[in-house]
């Protein structure tokens, strides 16, 4: 009977766990570095925001504290107070942004749903690429396109609105022959913010859990019913976020508005008449190069108002998203 040869035991010591940890490193140093970089980036954002606010308040302080300040608007011989100068611009800024959102959000959500749930894969990929390309076009090109090509084609539409819906203050005539009115600005801004809202909403819709969609379809829901029950509730916060991104661009847009909208200083709701409205950004761009110290301070005060409006809008959007998330978690 033969026995298997015995192998001598290895004399090489096995590495202990402490030696393995020391060889690989515990990762604590990397964690500290990453934590410090992340904290520094967050503090830099807060510091930049505080610096912008401090600069605006400092430069606008002379106009805010001078009760006798009188400002002359471009194209007018009259002088007005700071409140009378700033108020119509705030009104025009909010009106243009509201009308642009009213046009762009439903269209953007519809395009995003078509790309994510209706279009064939090749068509969806092509449309997604075109949407991303539209978002990269500079605003000055939108202004050129709107001023040269779009305005003449909108005039018949404006005439029809004035003739048949003129009893509504929004569409009351007479219609401007140039087409450089608030309605044109709203349409151009809607085209500008449409790709931003569409791109974000599309990505949110694509993240809808497949099990939710399949469960709705298994219960006999049509595709639209599945979208209404599963996709839209899941993407509601994403739609709000996308809309706020578009609203931020609409509120602060300058060049496209300057190239289309004339100078105005009224609180008028008549968006088909010329010379009625202006926006904060466009007014600053038009008046700042030729302004003296007092007028520059007043213009910066209007910029401070735009800064506050943007902050309030974003804070409201965050509150809406947080409330909906809390409500969804409670359910």
Give me the DSSP letters along 128-192.
HHHHHHHHTS-HHHHHHHIIIIIHHHHHHHHHHHHHHHTTSGGG-SPPPSS--SHHHHHHHHHHH
What tokens appear for 305 in the block?
Answer: 């108002």
Dihedral sign (CA 216, 221, 222, 228): negative
- Cα(268)–Cα(134) distance, integer angstroms: 32
Beta bridge partners of 289: none
**pLDDT score at 290:** 80
- The backbone region for 179, taken as left when phi is positive above 0, alpha when psi lies in -120 to 50, beta otherwise, is left
What tokens appear for 170 in the block?
Answer: 């929004």
C-alpha to C-alpha distances, 29 to 18, 26, 192, nearest whole angstrom: 17, 8, 46
Q: Is the pLDDT of residue 12 over 70?
A: no
Residue 176's nearest CA partner among 205, 203, 152 is: 152
What are the residues whose beta carbons fall under 8 Å from the beta carbon of 95, sequence distance 6 or more?
A: 182, 269, 271, 277
For residue 72, the SS3 value is strand
Q: What is the CATH T-level fold of the domain 88-326, as seen in this structure?
A: MetI-like fold (1.10.3720)
Tens digits of residue pLDDT in 109-146:
999 999 999 999 899 999 989 998 888 888 889 989 99
More confident residue, 254 or 186: 186
The predicted model gives 72-91 an average pLDDT of 78
**pLDDT score at 23:** 47
**pLDDT score at 331:** 54
Q: Domain-by-domain residue ranges, the chain?
A: 88-326
**pLDDT score at 66:** 81
Residue 146: count other Cβ atoms within 10 Å of its Cβ: 24
Residue 205's nearest CA partner among 118, 121, 134 is: 118
Tens digits of residue pLDDT in 266-321:
888 889 988 788 899 888 888 888 888 888 898 999 999 999 998 888 888 778 77
The predicted model gives 56-81 an average pLDDT of 79
The predicted model gives 237-266 an average pLDDT of 86
The model's confidence at residue 157, banded by pLDDT at 50, 70 and 90, is very high
Residue 98's nearest CA partner among 163, 182, 26 is: 182
Q: 117 near 231, Cβ under 8 Å?
A: yes
Minimum mean pLDDT range among 10-14, 224-228, 240-244, 256-260: 10-14
The model's confidence at residue 24, banded by pLDDT at 50, 70 and 90, is low
What's phi and psi for 27, nearest 5 deg? 85, -5
Q: Is the pLDDT of residue 1 over 50?
A: no
The predicted model gives 21-47 an average pLDDT of 80
The predicted model gives 27-35 an average pLDDT of 83
Q: Is the pLDDT of residue 103 over 90?
A: yes
**pLDDT score at 73:** 65
């Amino acid at each position: 009977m033969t026995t298997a040869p015995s192998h001598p035991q290895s004399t090489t010591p096995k590495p202990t766990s402490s030696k393995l940890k020391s060889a690989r490193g515990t990762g604590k140093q990397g964690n500290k570095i990453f934590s410090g970089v992340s904290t520094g980036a967050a503090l830099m954002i807060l510091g930049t925001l505080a610096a912008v606010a401090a600069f605006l308040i400092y430069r606008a302080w002379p106009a805010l504290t001078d009760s006798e300040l009188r400002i002359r608007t471009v194209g007018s011989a009259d002088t007005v107070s700071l409140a009378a100068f700033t108020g119509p611009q705030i009104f025009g800024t909010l009106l243009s942004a509201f009308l642009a959102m009213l046009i762009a959000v439903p269209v953007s959500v519809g395009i995003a749903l078509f790309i994510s749930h209706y279009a064939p894969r090749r068509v969806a990929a092509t449309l997604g690429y075109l949407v991303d390309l539209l978002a990269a076009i500079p605003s000055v090109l939108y202004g050129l396109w709107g001023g040269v090509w779009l305005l003449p084609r909108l005039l018949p539409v404006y005439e029809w609105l004035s003739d048949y819906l003129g009893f509504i203050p929004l569409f009351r005539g007479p219609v401007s022959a140039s087409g450089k009115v608030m309605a044109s600005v709203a349409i151009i801004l809607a085209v500008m913010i449409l790709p931003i809202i569409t791109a974000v909403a599309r990505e949110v819709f694509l993240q809808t859990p497949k099990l939710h969609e399949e469960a709705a379809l298994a219960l006999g829901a049509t595709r639209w019913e599945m979208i209404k029950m599963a996709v839209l509730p899941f993407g509601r916060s994403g739609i709000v976020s996308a809309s706020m991104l578009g609203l931020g661009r609409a509120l602060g847009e300058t060049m496209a508005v300057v190239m289309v909208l004339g100078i105005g200083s009224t609180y008028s709701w008549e968006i088909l008449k010329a010379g009625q409205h202006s926006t904060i950004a466009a007014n600053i761009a038009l008046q700042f190069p030729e302004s003296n110290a007092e007028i520059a301070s007043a213009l910066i005060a209007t910029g401070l108002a735009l800064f506050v409006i943007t902050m309030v809008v974003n804070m409201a959007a965050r509150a809406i998203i947080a409330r909906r998330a809390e409500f969804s978690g409670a359910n």
